[in-house]
Amino acid sequence: MSAPASVIWQKNPALAWREIDDETIIISPNDSVMHELNDTGSFLWKNIDGRKSAAELAELLVENYEVTPDIALSDTEALLQEMCSRKLVVTVRATGGVSP
Amino acid sequence: MSAPLANSGRGPRQQFELSIGCVPLRLEMSDAHLFDAATARYAAFTGAGARPVTIALNAGAVPEGPPSDFDYEFEGAALHVFSGGIRFDGVRHQYALDSLLRVLLTWKLLGHCGFLLHAATVIRNGKAYLFTGRSGAGKSTVASLSPEGSVLTDEISLLRRENGVWRAYGTPFWGEFRAAGSNISSPVAGIFRLQQAAENQVTALRPVAILRALLPNVLFFSAEAEPNRRLLEILSQAATEISGYNLAFRENCAFWEVLPA
């Protein structure tokens, strides 16, 4: 089940990552798994800061890429869900805590 | 070089100093057999630079104090890094000592902009050529096809960035060749990802592809985020500054002809 578009997201603080050649390489030290994000994914990753929702991230995508708001939100939510399933991002409660 | 130390109650403790990749270390132990084996094993690397960090082997109970910065266990042997020194406990044979030394080096090299890589290193015209890949990729084959005396290692290479230049160091960590190694270094010419093929061919890689080639072959043992961030920073710098290639090669020495000078 996908999270509401208003939910706030942040990067999993246990990860290491680096942007190189417009791509982002993410390392999960606990299981030594490497993940990669393309240009658009890297853009979203950079803007996942513990203060923005999927809807706000999608707005940034519309401002910087040639994409309609509907598709931007749909793609953003899909990417966040995918990253969430890989434990790359976590949601933030309204109180500021990280949701398990 | 050895010097008896004060008796800890379990026999006289002896020590010798060594340097691997310019990381100065001092091993201290009371097991005479292990001491003899270690001094012979690391003979080419004896003698440390200024302020070697002391590694106390099998030194008894860990004293009370601040928590360790890094711990690692391997088949009953354990490594503990404290701010005031390092302990190797449960070391019963040379193999365990060798393994813990590798683990320790991966940790210490973070502070020297360096890392260990599963790679053979061959010196040619004063430059170091690194051939990386998992077991079976052909590292030992490349080493066996290279002139005698030109191979720094056939298994684990050590890279460090010094004064803006990446250098490859000899290590005592070898695979099939089982050589003692040489404590020398050379500037890096390039990193080559091995792919056995019917024809010799070299293809230049973008930095992100070099980083992809490095990551599965880097030795690292910490699961903590911060050391991994530092490692990734070092590897990204290496991927940006060192030329990297895919090397499709046949198992003959003609592959040297396709390598960039």
Cross-chain residue pair A16–B215, CB shorter than 8 Å: no
Residues with Cβ within 8 Å of residue B143, at least 6 apart in sequence: B120, B122, B151, B154, B176, B177
The beta strand positions in chain A, using DSSP E, are: 8-11, 16-20, 23-28, 33-37, 52-53, 89-92
Of the candidates A13, A14, A27, the beta carbon closest to that of B232 is on A27
**Could you tell me if A25 lies within 8 Å of chain B, comparing CB atoms?**
yes
Residue A45 tokens, joined: 């990753």
Quick one: pLDDT at residue B11?
59
Chain B hits for A23, CB-CB cut-off 8 Å, are: 208
Asked if B181 and B172 touch (Cβ cutoff 8 Å), the reply is: yes
Q: For residue B112, is pLDDT > 80?
A: yes
Chain B hits for A27, CB-CB cut-off 8 Å, are: 215, 228, 232
Asked if B145 and B252 touch (Cβ cutoff 8 Å), the reply is: yes
Distance from CA of A70 to the nearest CA of B (A): 31
Cross-chain residue pair A34–B207, CB shorter than 8 Å: no
DSSP A65: S
pLDDT in tens, A54-93: 999 999 999 999 999 999 999 999 999 999 999 999 999 6
Phi, psi of B128 (to 5 degrees): -95, 125
Interior CA angle at A85 toward A79 and A87, to 5°? Answer: 100
Of the candidates B222, B235, B240, the beta carbon closest to that of A29 is on B222
Residue B23, CA distances (Å) to A13, A97, B83, B155, B214 in order? 31, 42, 16, 19, 22
Chain B hits for A16, CB-CB cut-off 8 Å, are: 225, 228-229, 231-232
Of the candidates B223, B229, B240, the beta carbon closest to that of A30 is on B223
Find which of A11, A15, A19, A20 to mutate to test the B interface (most B CBs within 10 Å of its CB): A20
Asked if B81 and B25 touch (Cβ cutoff 8 Å), the reply is: no
Question: For chain B, which residues lie within 8 Å of any Cβ of chain A, measuring from their own Cβ?
Answer: 206-208, 211-212, 215-216, 222-225, 227-229, 231-233, 235-236, 239-240
Which amino acid does the sequence have at A58? A
Phi-psi region of A30 (alpha: psi -120 to 50; beta: other; left: phi over 0): alpha
CB–CB contacts below 8 A, A to B: 45
pLDDT band at B10 (very low <50, low <70, confident <90, very high): low
Q: What is the pTM of this model?
A: 0.90
Buried b (16+ CB within 10 A) or exposed e, B136-167: ebbbbbbbebbeeeebbbbbbbbbbbeeeebb
Distance (Å, rounded) from C-alpha B16 to C-alpha B8? 17
Of the candidates A18, A30, A36, the beta carbon closest to that of B232 is on A18
Find which of B110, B205, B206, B211 to mutate to test the A interface (most A CBs within 10 Å of its CB): B211
Cross-chain residue pair A16–B207, CB shorter than 8 Å: no
Cross-chain residue pair B225–A29, CB shorter than 8 Å: yes
Q: For residue B241, is pLDDT > 50?
A: yes
ipTM of the shown complex: 0.84
pLDDT in tens, B11-55: 588 999 999 999 999 999 999 999 999 999 999 999 877 789 999
pLDDT in tens, A23-63: 999 999 988 899 999 999 999 999 999 999 999 999 999 99
Cross-chain residue pair A18–B233, CB shorter than 8 Å: yes
Residue A25, CA distances (Å) to A80, B152, B165 in order? 16, 30, 24
